[in-house]
C-alpha cells in the first residue's frame, strides 16, 4: 500500500534537489556580461559559458544518452562540451574553450533549459535503478563542483583585466569566516579508519580503510595573510633552503614573490584580487591562492609541516569543533599524493574516467572553500591539484609530529580546544553566545539533576508520568531484543521506566558529552539491571561516529527525552534527526520527548526558580571557563536571566553583564558593555505541527503522538 506513495515522494525529492542544484550556476552568471562569460584567461581555466554548457552535457552523456532511441539536443555539443572523457569521443582542447564564440550564451542557456526539461521528464518516468541513482547523484555533485570552478575561473579572468573588475558586489559564500582560536590539538594516532562513509561520495574517496598514524598535532587555525606577510618579510620567497627542488625551480621560473593575485603599491601596501575586486590584504583572513610548493616552504619556515590527508581526516572526524574554518573557507593542502586507496575501483561505465585517471603527480587538499556550495562538503572529500597550481581557493593549516619530546605545551586535549573555540568565537560575535553543551561538566550535570527536582521544573515529572503510562504500548512497538540508544542520557533516570517495561532489551547504549554523569549512570544501571548489556559512549551527539557492533537481533530504537532537541537551532535539529536515522539504520524507531508551547509564566518560572538552582547552573559555565580555559570571568558581575521569545517560540537563558568590563580568555580579551548578555541556551517549545515539520524534514514518520496532562509535554514515536 505504501510503496507507490514512497516512490512519488522520492521522485519529488529528487526533482526538488535537481531544481535547487541546477538553479545555482545561472544565479552566479546573473549580472555578468556575455563577454565575462565567454573569455578564458589561461589554459587551466574555462569560460563561464562552457561550465554552464558542460554541466548540462554531463547529464546528457551520463544519463539521457543511454535512454533507448535518444536524440541529442545538438549533436555538435557532444564534442564541444565534453571535458576529458576520451571514451566518449572527440572534444575541444581545454586551452581553446575561450575561442568558442559560438554557440552564444543565449544558445547555451537554451541548451541548459532543454536538458533540464528532459531530465525532469526522465525523473518523472518512475523509479530509477541503483546505477542510475548513482549517476543522478553524481550529476548533481558534478554540477556543484563546477559552481566552484565557475567562480575560480571567473576570478582568474577578472584578475587578468587591467581594470580589476568586481564580478559581484558581495563575495558569494556559503557562510561567514570563523575567528581564529589559537593553539593545536594533539592526537595519539594509532590504527585509524579513513574514507567514504555510507553517504554519496566520489569514487576516489573509497574504500574505507585503515591507516597507521604516529602521534601528531594539527593547528586549530588556517595560516593567515598576516602570517604569510611575516614569511615574505623573512625572505620566504628568496631562501632556497626552505623549498622543495621543484618548488624552487617554479619560484625562479615564474618569478613568484607573493601568493597569486597579490600586488604591492608603490607605497608598499599589499592588495589582492577577489570576486569583489581588488581589496587591501586583510591580515587576519586566511591566506588564499598559494600552491603546494609555497605551502610546503611556509610550513618548513614555521618549523612545522603539512598534514597528511589521513591525519587531516582523522582530526576532522575526532574533534571537528576544535578547529576554525575546517570547512567553508579554503581547501587545505596536504602532503599526500593523490593516489588510489587500497581496493580502489573506478565507477563502472561512462563515469569511469571521473577521478581515477588523474591519480599521478598531484596532491590532495581537504576541507572545502567559501565558494563550495553548502551541502557539497564531506570529511572524506579528496580535492586534488598539481603542486604548482594556485588559482583554486586553496590555503593551508599546519601539522607537526607529537611523539613525546619537543611537544609544545600549547597543545590541548580535543574537548578543551573545542570549548575554547566555541567560547572565543561566541564572545567575538556581535551578539555574544555559547552552545549549551558546555554547561555539562561534572558540576553542571549535578546541578541539572537538582533542577529536575525543583517544584517549578515540570518537564521531567510530566515526561516521566507520560512515559510510565505509554511504556507497555512502546514495549510492544519496539519488539523483542531491541537495542536502546539514548542521546544526552545524563543520569538515565527516566530511562529506567523503559528498561522496566523492556525485560528482553538486548543492549542499552547511553551517549553523553559529560563523562562523569555518563559513567556514574552506567555503573548504577549495571548494578540495578545485572543482565542488561550497558555500553556507554562519551561523545558529542552532533558528531557521531558509526555505533560499535551491537549484539541485539532486534531493531535499534533511538531515545531522546528531556526536550534536549529544543536546545538545537532548528536546522541543527533537522541535521541531528537525519544523522540519527542514518546511524540507527534500517527499521529503526525513535522516541522523542519534547516540551510544548504554553503559558509564558509557567515557562519562565521553570527556567528561573526561586531557589536559584537554574541561575547557578547557568553561571557554572563561567566557572568552567575560568578553570579550563584560563578565563577571568567575575562571577558576581553576571546575572541569570530567563525570557520567553515569542517570535522564535523558545525560552532563552542569558548571562547579563551588570557592568562594563573586559574579560580575558587565555591570551584573548573581550569587551562587555553594561547590560550586554551571553546567550547561553535556547529551549525551543513545539506544537504538534512544528514537531511534525521538523521530524518529517529529517525523513521520519510519526507513529504516535502522546501528550501529558498540564503543563503539557509530548512523547513522539517515530519510524525511520
Ligand atoms: C537537558 S539534559 C537532559 C538529560 C536527560 N536526558 C533528561 O531527560 O533528563 C541534556 C543532557 O544532554 C547532554 N548533552 C548536551 N549536549 C550534548 C551533546 N552535544 N552531545 C552529547 N550530550 C549532550 C548533557 O550532558 C545532559 O546530560
- Distance from CA of residue 339 to its chain's centroid? 25
User: For 9-50, how does the pLDDT look when each residue is reduced to its tens digit (9 = 90+)?
Assistant: 677 789 999 999 999 999 999 999 999 999 999 999 999 999
Give domain status of residue 366, yes or no.
yes
Write down the residue that cell numbers 555518563 correspond to.
518
414-428 vs 613-628: helix axis angle to the nearest 10? 110
Give domain status of residue 408, yes or no.
no
Burial of residue 193 (number of CB atoms within 10 Å: 0-12, 13-18, 19+): middle
Are 558 and 480 found together in one domain? yes
Q: Which of 150, 215, 672 is nearest to 406 (CA)?
A: 215
Mean pLDDT for all residues in the chain: 93
Given a contact cutoff of 8 angstroms between Cβ atoms, the answer to whether 175 and 328 are in contact is: yes
Quick one: pLDDT at residue 2?
A: 36
User: For 111-140, how does the pLDDT look when each residue is reduced to its tens digit (9 = 90+)?
Assistant: 999 999 999 999 998 777 888 999 999 999
CA atoms within 13 A on the CB side of 71: 1
CATH value at residue 129: 1.20.120
The per-residue DSSP string of 26-79 comes to HHHHTT--HHHHH--SSTT---HHHHHHHHHHHHHHHTGGGSTT---S-TTHHH
Quick one: pLDDT at residue 8?
A: 62
Are 21 and 7 found together in one domain? yes
Given a contact cutoff of 8 angstroms between Cβ atoms, the answer to whether 459 and 606 are in contact is: yes
What distance in Å separates the CA atoms of residue 130 and residue 281, rounded to the nearest whole number?
49
Q: Pick the more confident residue, 133 or 4.
A: 133
| Distance between Cα 489 and ligand 1 center (Å) | 6
Query: H/E element holding 511?
Result: strand 507-512
Quick one: pLDDT at residue 404?
A: 62
Domain count, the chain: 4
- Ligand 1 pocket test: which of 512, 543, 545, 680 has the largest number of ligand atoms within 8 Å of its C-beta? 512
Are 97 and 235 found together in one domain? no
Average pLDDT over residues 689-710: 96
**Which cell numbers in the block locate residue 461?**
515529572
Given a contact cutoff of 8 angstroms between Cβ atoms, the answer to whether 370 and 177 are in contact is: yes
**Which cell numbers in the block locate residue 608?**
528561573
The per-residue DSSP string of 95-141 comes to GGGGG---S-HHHHHHHHHHHHHHHHHHHTTS---HHHHHHHHHHHH
Give domain status of residue 604, yes or no.
no
Output the residue whose Cα is nearest ligand 1's atom 17.
437
Give domain status of residue 429, yes or no.
no
Quick one: pLDDT at residue 174?
A: 79
Output the residue whose Cα is nearest ligand 1's atom 20.
540
Quick one: pLDDT at residue 282?
A: 92
Given a contact cutoff of 8 angstroms between Cβ atoms, the answer to whether 309 and 336 are in contact is: yes
Quick one: pLDDT at residue 321?
A: 87
| Distance between Cα 663 and ligand 1 center (Å) | 28
pLDDT at 353 over 80: no
User: For 459-480, how does the pLDDT look when each residue is reduced to its tens digit (9 = 90+)?
Assistant: 999 999 999 999 999 999 999 9
pLDDT at 52 over 80: yes
Give domain status of residue 608, yes or no.
no
Are 247 and 300 found together in one domain? yes
CATH value at residue 242: 3.90.1580.10
Quick one: pLDDT at residue 354?
A: 77
The per-residue DSSP string of 157-193 comes to HHHTSTT---S-SS---SSPPPPP---EEEE--EEEE
| Distance between Cα 314 and ligand 1 center (Å) | 25
Are 445 and 561 found together in one domain? no
Give domain status of residue 166, yes or no.
no
Q: Which of 489, 478, 402 is nearest to 445 (CA)?
A: 489
| Distance between Cα 647 and ligand 1 center (Å) | 25
Quick one: pLDDT at residue 7?
A: 60
Average pLDDT over residues 619-641: 97
Least trusted range by pLDDT, from 126-130, 222-226, 410-414, 707-711: 410-414
First to last CA, the chain: 17
Are 322 and 306 found together in one domain? yes
Query: H/E element holding 538?
Result: strand 537-538
Quick one: pLDDT at residue 248?
A: 98
Vertex 50, ends 44 and 51: CA angle to 5°? 80
Are 203 and 305 found together in one domain? yes
What distance in Å separates the CA atoms of residue 327 and residue 45, rounded to the nearest whole number?
24
Are 444 and 584 found together in one domain? no
Given a contact cutoff of 8 angstroms between Cβ atoms, the answer to whether 285 and 225 are in contact is: yes
Give domain status of residue 176, yes or no.
no
pLDDT at 346 over 90: no
What lines the ligand 1 site, CB under 6 Å? 437, 440, 445, 448, 452, 460, 488-490, 494, 512-514, 517, 540-542, 561-562, 564
**410 — pLDDT class (breaks 50, 70, 90):** very low
User: For 252-277, how does the pLDDT look when each residue is reduced to its tens digit (9 = 90+)?
Assistant: 999 999 999 999 999 989 999 999 99
Are 320 and 382 found together in one domain? yes
DSSP for residue 482: -
Give the list of residues 6+ apart from residue 652 with CB closer than 8 angstroms, or none: 642, 643, 644, 645, 679, 681, 682, 683
Average pLDDT over residues 573-593: 94
DSSP for residue 610: T
pLDDT at 406 over 70: no
Residue 500: phi, psi to the nearest 5? -65, -30
**564 — pLDDT class (breaks 50, 70, 90):** very high
Q: Is 563 left (phi over 0), alpha (psi -120 to 50) or beta?
A: left
What distance in Å separates the CA atoms of residue 36 and residue 515, rounded to the nearest whole number?
57
Are 527 and 513 found together in one domain? yes
CATH value at residue 512: 3.40.50.150
| Distance between Cα 567 and ligand 1 center (Å) | 9
Atom of ligand 1 lying closest to residue 542 CA: 19
Average pLDDT over residues 86-96: 78
Output the residue whose Cα is nearest ligand 1's atom 8.
562
Are 393 and 314 found together in one domain? yes
**214 — pLDDT class (breaks 50, 70, 90):** very high
Output the residue whose Cα is nearest ligand 1's atom 9.
562
**92 — pLDDT class (breaks 50, 70, 90):** confident
Write 353-358 long-range contacts (CB < 8 A, 24+): 353/84, 353/85, 353/86, 353/87, 354/138, 354/202, 354/203, 355/202, 355/203, 355/204, 356/203, 356/204, 358/384
**656 — pLDDT class (breaks 50, 70, 90):** very high
| Distance between Cα 671 and ligand 1 center (Å) | 31
- Ligand 1 pocket test: which of 564, 653, 715 has the largest number of ligand atoms within 8 Å of its C-beta? 564
Given a contact cutoff of 8 angstroms between Cβ atoms, the answer to whether 622 and 659 are in contact is: no
Three-class SS state of 331 = strand
Are 510 and 444 found together in one domain? no
Provide the whole-model pTM. 0.68
Determine the structural domain holding residue 143 and report its residue range: 3-159
Give domain status of residue 375, yes or no.
yes
Amino acid at each position: 500500500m505504501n510503496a507507490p506513495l514512497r516512490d512519488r515522494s522520492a521522485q519529488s525529492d529528487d526533482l526538488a534537489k535537481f531544481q535547487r542544484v541546477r538553479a545555482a550556476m545561472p544565479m552566479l552568471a546573473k549580472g555578468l556580461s556575455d563577454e565575462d562569460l565567454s573569455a578564458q584567461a589561461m589554459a587551466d581555466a574555462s569560460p563561464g559559458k562552457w561550465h554552464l554548457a558542460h554541466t548540462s552535457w554531463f547529464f546528457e552523456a551520463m544519463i539521457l544518452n543511454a535512454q533507448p532511441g535518444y536524440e541529442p539536443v545538438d549533436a555538435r555539443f557532444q564534442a564541444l562540451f565534453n571535458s576529458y572523457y576520451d571514451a566518449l569521443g572527440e572534444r575541444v582542447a581545454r586551452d581553446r574553450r575561450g575561442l568558442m564564440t559560438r554557440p552564444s550564451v543565449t544558445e547555451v542557456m537554451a541548451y541548459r533549459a532543454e536538458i533540464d526539461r528532459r531530465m525532469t521528464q526522465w525523473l518523472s518516468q518512475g523509479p530509477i535503478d541503483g546505477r542510475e541513482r548513482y549517476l543522478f547523484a553524481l550529476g548533481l555533485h558534478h554540477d556543484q563542483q563546477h559552481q566552484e570552478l565557475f567562480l575560480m575561473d571567473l576570478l582568474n579572468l577578472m584578475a587578468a583585466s587591467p581594470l580589476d573588475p568586481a564580478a559581484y558586489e558581495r563575495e558569494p559564500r556559503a557562510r561567514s569566516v570563523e575567528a581564529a582560536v589559537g593553539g593545536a590539538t594533539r592526537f595519539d594516532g594509532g590504527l585509524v579508519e579513513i574514507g567514504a562513509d555510507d553517504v554519496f561520495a566520489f569514487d576516489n574517496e573509497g574504500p574505507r580503510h585503515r591507516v597507521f598514524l604516529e602521534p601528531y598535532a594539527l593547528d586549530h587555525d588556517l595560516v593567515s595573510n598576516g602570517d604569510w606577510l611575516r614569511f615574505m618579510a623573512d625572505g620566504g620567497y628568496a631562501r632556497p633552503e626552505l623549498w622543495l627542488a621543484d618548488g624552487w625551480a617554479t619560484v625562479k621560473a615564474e618569478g613568484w614573490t607573493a601568493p597569486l593575485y597579490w600586488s604591492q603599491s608603490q607605497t608598499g601596501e599589499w592588495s589582492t584580487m577577489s570576486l569583489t575586486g581588488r581589496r587591501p590584504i586583510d591580515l587576519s583572513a586566511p591566506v588564499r591562492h598559494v600552491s603546494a610548493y609555497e605551502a610546503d616552504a611556509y610550513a618548513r619556515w614555521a618549523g612545522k609541516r603539512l598534514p597528511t590527508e589521513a591525519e587531516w581526516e582523522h582530526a576532522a572526524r575526532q574533534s571537528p569543533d576544535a578547529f576554525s574554518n575546517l570547512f567553508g573557507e579554503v581547501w587545505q593542502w596536504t602532503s599526500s599524493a593523490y593516489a588510489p586507496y587500497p581496493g580502489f575501483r573506478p565507477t563502472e561505465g561512462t563515469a569511469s574516467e571521473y577521478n581515477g585517471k588523474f591519480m599521478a603527480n598531484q596532491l590532495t587538499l581537504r576541507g572545502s572553500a567559501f565558494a563550495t556550495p553548502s551541502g557539497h562538503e564531506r570529511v572524506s572529500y579528496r580535492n586534488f591539484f598539481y603542486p604548482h597550481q594556485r588559482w583554486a581557493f586553496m590555503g593551508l593549516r599546519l601539522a607537526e609530529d607529537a611523539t613525546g619530546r619537543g611537544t609544545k605545551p600549547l597543545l590541548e586535549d580535543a574537548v578543551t580546544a573545542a570549548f575554547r573555540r566555541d567560547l572565543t568565537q561566541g564572545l567575538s560575535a556581535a551578539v555574544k553566545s555559547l552552545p549549551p553543551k558546555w554547561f555539562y561538566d561534572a558540576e553542571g550535570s549535578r546541578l541539572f539533576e537538582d533542577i529536575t527536582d525543583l517544584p517549578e521544573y515540570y518537564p521531567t515529572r510530566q515526561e516521566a508520568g507520560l512515559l510510565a503510562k505509554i511504556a507497555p504500548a512502546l514495549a510492544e512497538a519496539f519488539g523483542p531484543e531491541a537495542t536502546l540508544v539514548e542521546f544526552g542520557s545524563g543520569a538515565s533516570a527516566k530511562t529506567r521506566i523503559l528498561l522496566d517495561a523492556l525485560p528482553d532489551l538486548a543492549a542499552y547504549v547511553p551517549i553523553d558529552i559529560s563523562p562523569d554523569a555518563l559513567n556514574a549512570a552506567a555503573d548504577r544501571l549495571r548494578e540495578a539491571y545485572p543482565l542488561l548489556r550497558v555500553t556507554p559512549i562519551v561523545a558529542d551527539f552532533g558528531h557521531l561516529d558509526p555505533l560499535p557492533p551491537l549484539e541485539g537481533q532486534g531493531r535499534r530504537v533511538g531515545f531522546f527525552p528531556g526536550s534536549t532537541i529544543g536546545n538545537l537551532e532548528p536546522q541543527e535539529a533537522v541535521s541531528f534527526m537525519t544523522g540519527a536515522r542514518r546511524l540507527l539504520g534500517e527499521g529503526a524507531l525513535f522516541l522523542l520527548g519534547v516540551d510544548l508551547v504554553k503559558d509564558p509564566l509557567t515557562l519562565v518560572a521553570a527556567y528561573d526558580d526561586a531557589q536559584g538552582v537554574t541561575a547557578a547552573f547557568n553561571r557554572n559555565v563561567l566557572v568552567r571557563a575560568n578553570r579550563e580555559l584560563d578565563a577571568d570571568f567575575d562571577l558576581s558581575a553576571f546575572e541569570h536571566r530567563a525570557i520567553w521569545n515569542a517570535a522564535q517560540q523558545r525560552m532563552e537563558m542569558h548571562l547579563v553583564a551588570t557592568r562594563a568590563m573586559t574579560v580575558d580568555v587565555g591570551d584573548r580579551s573581550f569587551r562587555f558593555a553594561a547590560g550586554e548578555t551571553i546567550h547561553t541556551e535556547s529551549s525551543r517549545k513545539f506544537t504538534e505541527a512544528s514537531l511534525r515539520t521538523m521530524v518529517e524534514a529529517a525523513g521520519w514518520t510519526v507513529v504516535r503522538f502522546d501528550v501529558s496532562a498540564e503543563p503539557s509535554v509530548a512523547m513522539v514515536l517515530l519510524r525511520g
